[in-house]
A and B are shown apart, each in its own frame.
Chain A
Amino acid sequence: MAATFDEIGTVTADGTTTSIEVTGIDQSYDDLQVIFEFFVNSSSQTVETFISVNSDTSVSTYNSDTMIYEADGSYTYQEDYNTYAGWRMLNSPTNGGSGTPYYWANIIIDMMQYTATRSKSFIARHCTENVWGINGAMGAAGLGYRNTAAISSIKLANAAGNNIGSGSTITVYGIKNS
Chain B
Amino acid sequence: MAANNWIPIQTISGAATEYSFTSIPAGYKSLILKGNLQSATTGYTVEFYLRCNGDTGYNYQDSDFGYQLNTTSLRTNGAQSVSGGTGGFVGASYLGDWGSHVEIHMFGVDNTDRYTTWAGTSAVGGGGNGYNVTMFGGGIWQNTASITQIDTLALNANANSTLTLYGRK
Contact = CB atoms under 8 A, between A and B. Distances in A.
Interface of A: 2, 4-8, 35, 37, 69, 71-75, 100-104, 106, 108, 125-129, 132, 136, 138-140, 167, 171, 173
A6 B2 CA distance: 6
A77 to B, nearest CB: 11
Given A5-B6, A138-B63, A127 B138 contact: yes
Given A73-B76, A127-B105, A7 B5 contact: yes
Contact of A167 (B65, B113, B140): B113
A69 B65 contact: yes
A141 to B, nearest CB: 12
A35 B74 CA distance: 28
Contacts of B49: none
A71 B107 contact: no
B117 A106 contact: yes
B98 interface: no
Interface of B: 1-6, 29-30, 61, 63-65, 74, 76, 78, 80, 105, 107-108, 113-115, 117-121, 136, 138-140, 142, 144, 168-169
A126 to B, nearest CB: 7
A136 B140 CA distance: 11
A140 B6 CA distance: 22
A7 B138 contact: no
Contact of B78 (A2, A8, A73): A73
Contacts of A75: 65, 74, 76
Contact of B117 (A4, A6, A104): A104
A127 B107 contact: yes
A35 B69 CA distance: 32
Contacts of B120: 127
A41 to B, nearest CB: 14
A8 B2 contact: yes
A175 B82 CA distance: 37
Contact of A138 (B1, B6, B65, B74): B65
Given A6-B5, A136-B63, 19 more contacts: A4-B1, A4-B4, A6-B1, A37-B29, A69-B65, A69-B78, A71-B78, A72-B78, A73-B76, A75-B65, A127-B107, A127-B117, A127-B120, A129-B63, A129-B119, A129-B138, A138-B138, A140-B136, A167-B113
A27 B1 CA distance: 13
Of A35, A72, A106, most buried by chain B (CB within 10 Å of CB) is A106
Of B74, B113, B117, B142, most buried by chain A (CB within 10 Å of CB) is B117
A132 B82 CA distance: 12
B117 A173 contact: no
